[in-house]
Structure 1
Amino acid sequence: MSTDQTPAAAGDGFPYTLTRTLDAPAAQVWRAWTTPDQYARWAYAVPGSVEMDVRPGGTWKATMRTPDGTEFPLTGSYVEVDEHSALTIGMDVPGRPDPATMTVELTEQGPRNTAITLRQTCDTAEERDGAKQGSTMLLDGLTAFLAGGERG
């Protein structure tokens, strides 16, 4: 497993990119990201709270649980869906007229390895830092789930 992190670039907004190589084929990674029961097992979601209509314009929702037990609801929609390859996910943000978007790209690197890249551009450095921390936790949980272990 490898992880690359790209620092924020000057210009529009505050972007980040996280890339990791996973020990699983792209189809398995896709199922983990787009199947409610699997997603709940690695993404810190409350079991039974995840709903997904994985198609362009389809909606999703989940109640997330932080390590300290705090729960908070998230909602959004799917902007782009390219099965086994890419998802662009819109995330509703209170007080913001347009959803924040995150792109998930999968690139198969042989029969058992997939590179996953998460990209997001945020409005502020603080928002970027929080989103990057959350995305890193997601990748850690996904990596552990695919390895058959516990998230973390």
Structure 2
Amino acid sequence: MTTEQRTAKGFSYTLERTLEAPVAAVWSAWTTAESYAQWAHAVPGSVEMDVRPGGTWKATMVTPDGGQFPLTGSYSEVDENRRLVVGMDVPGKNEPAVMTVELAEQSAHQSRIVVAQTCDTAGERDLAEQGATMLLGSLTAFLKSAN
């Protein structure tokens, strides 16, 4: 399910999925550098994560056409197995792009994930939503292969 809205602060999207994995496995996939690199299309060995409020992260991502681009950011909220608020540094902007990831246990083997972000323009929102949709697809496949 996807919802989009225009707010006073910008353009938002929210993506929700049910994943066939326990919350702890989803959290680990999102917050462990080795796992994240596998499903998020990062260059092996390029991911570094200090998952705590104020901690930083970096990764070099690989695009579908084989290009590479470095990303950096920080964590503003970390509530293990529940909520992760991740900032991504954006060249030319004073404030990071912020993505919120919320997890909830549906059953012993199912989790609900909600990814949300607010962007400055509809175009930025559309690109961010496309990227998040691809990430969730990759995460879903990774979790299935891990079981």
| TM-score category (smaller protein) | over 0.9
| Residues 1:87 and 2:53 aligned together | no
| Residues 1:22 and 2:19 aligned together | yes
| Residues 1:69 and 2:66 aligned together | yes
Q: Give ranges in structure 1 of 5+ residues lacking alignment.
A: none
Aligned partner letter, 2:27: W
Q: Give ranges in structure 2 of 5+ residues lacking alignment.
A: none
| Residues 1:43 and 2:44 aligned together | no
CA distance in 2, matches of 1:35, 1:12: 32
CA distance in 1, matches of 2:11, 2:83: 22
CA distance in 2, matches of 1:45, 1:63: 5
Match of 1:98 among 85, 90, 95: 95
Percentage identity across aligned positions? Answer: 65
How far the C-alpha of 1:103 sits from its partner, in A, is 0.2
> What is the aligned partner in structure 2 of residue 139 from structure 1?
136
CA distance in 2, matches of 1:97, 1:32: 29
RMSD of the alignment, in Å?
0.9
**Deviations for 1:95-152, whole angstroms, at most 9, x for unmatched residues?**
0001110000001001011000000000000000000000000000000000007xxx
CA distance in 2, matches of 1:47, 1:78: 21
Q: How does the TM-score come out when normalised to structure 2?
A: 0.97
How far the C-alpha of 1:10 sits from its partner, in A, is 4.5
Q: Secondary structure at the match of 1:98?
A: coil
> What is the aligned partner in structure 2 of residue 121 from structure 1?
118
How far the C-alpha of 1:7 sits from its partner, in A, is 1.9
Q: Secondary structure at the match of 2:27?
A: helix
After TM superposition, where is structure 1 displaced by more than 4 Å over at least 4 residues in a row?
none
Q: Secondary structure at the match of 2:108?
A: coil
CA distance in 2, matches of 1:145, 1:119: 21
CA distance in 2, matches of 1:139, 1:31: 14
